Amino acid sequence: MKTRFARAAVLAALGMAAIHAGPALAQTYSAEIRRTSFGVPHIKAANYGSLGYGVGYAFAQDNFCMIADEFVTVRGERSRHFGESGTTPYGRNNLVSDFYYALMNGDAAPLTAGLNSMSADMRAAFRGWVAGYNRYLRDTGVANLPAPCKDAAWVRPIDDVDMMRLVRRYLLEASTNNFMEGMVAAKPPTAAGAGAAQKLGPKSDAGIPGFDQDFWPEWRYNIGSNALALGRDATDNGKGLLLGNPHFPWSGTLRFYQFHITIPNEIDVMGGSLSGFPLVNIGFNKDVAWSHTNDVAWHFTIYRLKLDPANPTKYVYDGQVRDMTTKTVTVQVRNADGTLSPKSNTFYLSHFGPLTTSTALPIPWTSQYAFAIRETNMDNWRIGDQWLAINKAASTAEIKKALQSIVGIPWVNTTAADKDGNAFYGDISTTPNLSRERQSLCTPDVTFAVVFSLKGPAVLDGSRSDCEWEVDDAAPQAGLLPGARMPYIERTDFAQNSNDSYWLANPAVSSYRWDIPATVGVVPDIQNMRTRIGVLQAQARLAGTDGLSGNRFSLANLQQIALSNRSLTADLFMADVAALCALPAASGVQAECGALSAWDRKYDLASRGAHLFREFFNTARNIASVYAVPFNYLDPLNTPRGFAVSNATVATALVAALKAAGDKIRAAGLAIDAPLGTVQFTLRGATPIPVHGGEGDYLGIYNKLSSVLVPNVGYVITTGTSYIQTVQFTDSGPNAQGFLTYSNSTNPASPHFADQTQRFSAKQWIAFPFTESAITSDPAYSTRTVSE
């Protein structure tokens, strides 16, 4: 560390010499950082290296401590600085995280090779971001950093390898990252200490030991999004209109950062990106706007290895015995007295990938079988050039072409609208090329075919080469499904996605094809409530039956729909709640019944009793045979619906659920009929800001906000609506408005720590200055050039 800082000091001194001595050193980077209201940076540069430099510098100004903490994580050094018993910002144990990232990111060679495989422009942009981050650190000094990392020993300059460590961490977010505990725990059954970590959990409702049926739904639940693209036949001006609303964490590096990048005559795009990315992930340019939603495609498969009976670290493949390989990693752990001690873990690997276990899934390592993960995104270094092509696209057709040719999107759908009134949706991402026939023939037994793989990834027979992913020369990577074979639709009315499969992107057209593998999504399948309300709202708007004027979308009514906070679930079930409350069995919950009767069926700040319905329905939906009308794949938007209150057993369970909901809220020190704005909020420092919206997947609220109930405090927001954009194309260019709901800075001392959050709370949409005149005329306009 001292060497790194010494080198940084030398470079800083050389930089100062260059400034004072004129042209002695060539300027490698130069970027103009122009700020407008809410601290949004507009980066202008002459090339991609300088563009990345400006983005990195501006980002560090706003979020240095947050991203510096993540670099500690992806280097596998949390235990060294924070001790082994602590956790990452996302709740993973420090030591487990360190072992995992020491395995994934410990070898610099493939990371460097990944960067070098990118186009020259993307390499320059990433390296520029690194240089901009380091420049901010040199300019500021560790002693003058914001309070969360002021004088911290874990703060240091980063390099290209650190940046690729962060990129790989993002690549694996929807797949292997989620198995880090199981990978660390995976040990041969004869090894000491292996037993406890690999014990099967209790039987599920399906009778399968070790299978938690909520595992896969919860896997999907935490990160989601809505996107609605409107074409010329759906808008009031005959041009494209887009709503993009990703639902991401409100803390940590999965937050979005809002910015604008410009290289004159080359690229000009505005939007939001995950921390550390030098281009725009979700945004718009003068021709096209796009958003992403987490897809239901699986980006990995699990292989069941048939083991050599004489040795559980050998497995059979095509009749031949193969040795597993091992990799032992060692990390430093900070002790209570400040000294460091080494700790090691041995990982086991097959040719498919690392072995894993789970206490929630039936995949233990026994004397007969072990399980390995095969990953699509481990070396998906196409990711940067994928977004570069999207940033530069001039139409939805060009976005589709870029997606199909590069196949670099790791785990999201893409929805887009353009100035000519075209709407597009596609799930074109890195997915195993595994035909339905091959998956069926290679699924080992009924446990995986009937229970596991219906809601989770494919589990395949790892003893046969004919169960490997299929190779198609049209794919950019061996074993991937070619982009041209993945589902998409092109429309002039609408295309949408809210984290269900491609099935109902627009119910007027079927995008289902037999040659699309089941790993891309189960079709047909029950839809989450956000999908249902999203499609129903679009259909009602175009039919003119939603109570708004006309039968076309405008910017104003799209915004109204986006934040209406209407609960579709309430519309479908509250009549039966009223019937339930009239039964003699409900005599003990009349206070709860009264609160729900007075509720406006919305999740606005003034909505009283909304949190009571949330707690009630979250339990009620899991009651056996609870629905009056169960799911019908011929009517997926309207089913399931209604409570079967005529069933005495169901009615009794519903009354108990309502009582439990009221008891839970009172025990937390809250009133069951309190206005939502008094019990649901986000904390900015010690200041609570009330937040509207609610759980979308089961409450049917388009404005999805997830929260945790903290006793004697309230419901504190954790994830949900984050960077929300509404982009309308007009004759004079894009008219974009939206929010970064948690604001652009994580520095508590920044004026932009809570400013957009307050506007979101008040539903006061913010105009995004995109044109040169809008930027320079902004009342908060400032400019600064950084060079070295």
Active site amino acids: 225
- At 78, is the secondary structure helix, strand, or coil? helix
Instruction: Using the structure block, give the residue that is written with the tokens 């004159």.
Output: 264
Chain-centroid distance of CA 376 in Å reads 17
Chain-centroid distance of CA 89 in Å reads 15
Question: 356-359, long-range: CB within 8 Å, 24+ apart, which pairs?
Answer: 356/179, 356/182, 356/183, 356/186, 356/302, 357/182, 357/185, 357/186, 357/197, 357/198, 358/179, 358/182, 358/210, 358/215, 359/197, 359/198, 359/199, 359/200, 359/201, 359/210
Which helix (H) or strand (E) is 241 found in, with range? strand 241-249
Cα–Cα distance measured from residue 77 to residue 333, given in angstroms and rounded to the nearest whole number: 8
Cβ-Cβ contacts under 8 Å for 112 (sequence gap 6 or more)? 160, 161, 164
DSSP tag of 395: S
DSSP assignment of 331-392, as one string? EEEE-TTS-EEEEEEEEEE-SS-BEE--SSSS----SSEEEEEEESSTT-TTHHHHHHHHHH
Cα–Cα distance measured from residue 116 to residue 136, given in angstroms and rounded to the nearest whole number: 25
Whether 567 contacts 603, CB under 8 Å: yes
319 burial via Cβ count (<10 Å: 0-12, 13-18, 19+) = exposed
Task: Name the token pair of 212.
Answer: 């938690």
- At 539, is the secondary structure helix, strand, or coil? helix
Cα–Cα distance measured from residue 389 to residue 216, given in angstroms and rounded to the nearest whole number: 33
Whether 278 contacts 128, CB under 8 Å: yes
Cβ-Cβ contacts under 8 Å for 640 (sequence gap 6 or more)? 526, 627, 629, 630, 631
Whether 252 contacts 66, CB under 8 Å: yes
233 burial via Cβ count (<10 Å: 0-12, 13-18, 19+) = middle
296 burial via Cβ count (<10 Å: 0-12, 13-18, 19+) = buried
DSSP tag of 176: G
Cα–Cα distance measured from residue 351 to residue 303, given in angstroms and rounded to the nearest whole number: 10
Cα–Cα distance measured from residue 90 to residue 185, given in angstroms and rounded to the nearest whole number: 19
Cα–Cα distance measured from residue 113 to residue 127, given in angstroms and rounded to the nearest whole number: 14
